[in-house]
């Protein structure tokens, strides 16, 4: 007989005490981090690059809720499975607090966030066992997106996106017959000189595309290679979107009004160019889904009743 959780949801074979214990235990790690590192956490979340972080745990736990019948069908206790990630989580918290290696503040937040994710994995295993954790593997892996990318990996990623976006822009300038002289990230155009700065790398929109793609392939595709292909295609589509934005604003500045380089389209038009990557990505998803074998195993969310 199924039991209702503390919020009145149907969770087969899960006691109210286990669910309540997991919820309360899960609040402890973020509360600890918030108290000890409030300013660093706030600055990280307010960053344009990581504005998505608060949404990641909401999505992950909502996915578990959607698939609750399968996730909690064979719940038990999993102390052996949960102990290793808890020990690593405690190490992450201690390492971040002591910071004996004097790592950068943004990297300290990354270590703390990793500790929170591992602690949640441990508490879930303690409460519901290995089988439930395995059934909820994707939502917990999805939580990795709430860990800020540490330096110097982030800096290198931004540089590669700058380089790729500048190369796409150069290709499009040639395609449209716009004369230019390129030196690194600088473009000398008729009457104006532009630079593909770090802010033009598109790291935020690229992360958003990647997160949306990972979530979409989990929900709608079955084959591993189909999922991998769509996720990999995020990079060239993001570079094309960035290059198109650079070229569009530059050409409008040259041939229409120089104010376009600093106007509203430059400041708030990101969503318009975001669509130039999102739409083809959605069409590719539909195409791949349509051509997958109808006899294959249904996707995770298709099994939800």
Same domain, 64 and 204: no
Q: Looking at 75, 105, 139, which one is the last position of a domain?
A: 139
Q: Are residues 281 and 194 in the same domain?
A: yes
Statement: residue 267 has pLDDT above 80: no
Same domain, 165 and 131: no
Q: Report the C-alpha gap between 96 and 170 in whole angstroms.
A: 43
Of 111, 139, 167, at which residue does a domain stop? 139
For residues 250 and 279, membership in a common domain is answered with yes
Q: Are 138 and 121 in contact (CB under 8 A)?
A: no
Whether the pLDDT of residue 263 is over 80: the answer is no
* Contact call for residues 281 and 234 (beta carbons, < 8 A): yes
Query: Do both 33 and 118 map to the same domain?
Result: yes
Shared domain check, 118 and 238: no
Q: Is the pLDDT of residue 300 over 70?
A: no
Indicate if 86 and 46 belong to the same structural domain: yes
Count structural domains, the chain: 2
**pLDDT tier at 302, thresholds 50, 70, 90:** very low
For 223-248, how does the pLDDT look when each residue is reduced to its tens digit (9 = 90+)?
Answer: 899 999 999 999 999 999 999 999 99
Continuous segment of H or E residues that includes residue 179: none
Confidence category of residue 135, pLDDT binned at 50, 70, 90: very high
Q: Are residues 168 and 118 in the same domain?
A: no
Provide CB contacts within 8 A for 255, sequence distance 6+. none
Asked whether residue 157 falls in the same domain as residue 212, the answer is: yes
What local confidence, expressed as pLDDT, does residue 49 receive? Answer: 79
Q: What percent of the chain has pLDDT over 90?
A: 44
Q: What average pLDDT does range 31-56 have in this prediction?
A: 78
Same domain, 76 and 158: no
pLDDT in tens, 45-90: 677 778 888 889 999 999 998 998 888 887 777 788 889 999 999 9
Same domain? For 98 and 166 the reply is: no
Q: Is residue 115 part of a domain?
A: yes
Within-domain flag for 144: no
145 assigned to some structural domain: no
For residue 182, what are the domain limits? 153-303
Residues 161, 271, single domain; the answer is: yes
Residue 295's pLDDT band (cuts 50, 70, 90) = low
How far apart are alpha carbons 19 and 40 in whole angstroms? Answer: 31
pLDDT tens figures, 146-182: 998 888 898 899 999 999 999 999 999 999 999 999 9
Q: What pLDDT is recorded for position 106?
A: 76
Of 139, 165, 180, which marks where a domain is finished? Answer: 139
> What is the distance between the alpha carbons of residues 183 and 226, in angstroms, rounded to a whole number?
38
The pTM (predicted TM-score) of the whole model is: 0.84
Q: Is 207 a domain residue?
A: yes
The reported pLDDT for the residue numbered 15 is: 65
Q: Report pLDDT for 296.
A: 43
Asked, for residue 19, whether it belongs to a domain, the answer is yes
Q: Is the Cα torsion angle 116, 211, 290, 223 positive or negative in sign?
A: negative
First and final C-alpha spacing in the chain: 17
Least reliable range by pLDDT among 37-51, 99-113, 164-178, 282-296: 37-51
Q: For residue 268, is pLDDT > 70?
A: no
Does residue 146 form part of some domain?
no
Would residue 147 count as lying in a domain?
no
Contact assessment for residue 254 and residue 188, using Cβ atoms and an 8 Å cutoff = no
* 212 in a structural domain: yes
């Amino acid at each position: 007989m199924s039991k209702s959780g503390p919020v009145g949801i149907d969770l087969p074979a899960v006691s109210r005490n286990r669910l309540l214990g997991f919820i309360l235990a899960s609040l402890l790690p973020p509360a600890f981090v918030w108290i000890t590192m409030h300013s660093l956490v706030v600055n990280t979340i307010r960053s344009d690059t990581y504005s998505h972080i608060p949404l990641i745990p909401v999505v992950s736990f909502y996915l578990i809720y959607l698939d609750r019948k399968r996730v909690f069908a064979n719940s038990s206790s999993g102390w052996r499975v949960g102990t290793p990630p808890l020990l690593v989580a405690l190490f992450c918290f201690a390492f971040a607090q002591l910071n004996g290696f004097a790592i950068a503040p943004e990297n300290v937040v990354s270590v703390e966030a990793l500790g929170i994710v591992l602690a949640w994995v441990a508490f879930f295993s303690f409460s519901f066992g290995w089988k439930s954790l395995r059934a909820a593997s994707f939502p917990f892996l999805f939580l990795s997106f709430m860990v800020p990318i540490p330096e110097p990996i982030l800096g290198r990623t931004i540089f590669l996106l700058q380089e790729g976006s500048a190369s796409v822009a150069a290709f499009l300038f040639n395609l449209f017959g716009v004369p230019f002289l390129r030196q690194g990230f600088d473009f000398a155009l008729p009457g104006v000189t532009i630079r593909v700065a770090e802010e033009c790398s598109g790291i935020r929109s690229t992360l958003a595309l990647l997160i949306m793609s990972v979530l979409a392939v989990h929900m709608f595709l079955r084959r591993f290679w189909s999922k991998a292909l769509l996720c990999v295609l995020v990079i060239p589509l993001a570079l094309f979107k960035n290059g198109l934005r650079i070229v569009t604003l530059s050409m409008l500045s040259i041939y229409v009004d120089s104010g376009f380089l600093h106007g509203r389209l430059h400041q708030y038009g990101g969503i318009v160019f975001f669509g130039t990557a999102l739409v083809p990505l959605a069409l590719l998803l539909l195409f791949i889904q349509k051509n997958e074998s109808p006899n294959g195993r249904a996707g995770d969310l298709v099994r939800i009743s």
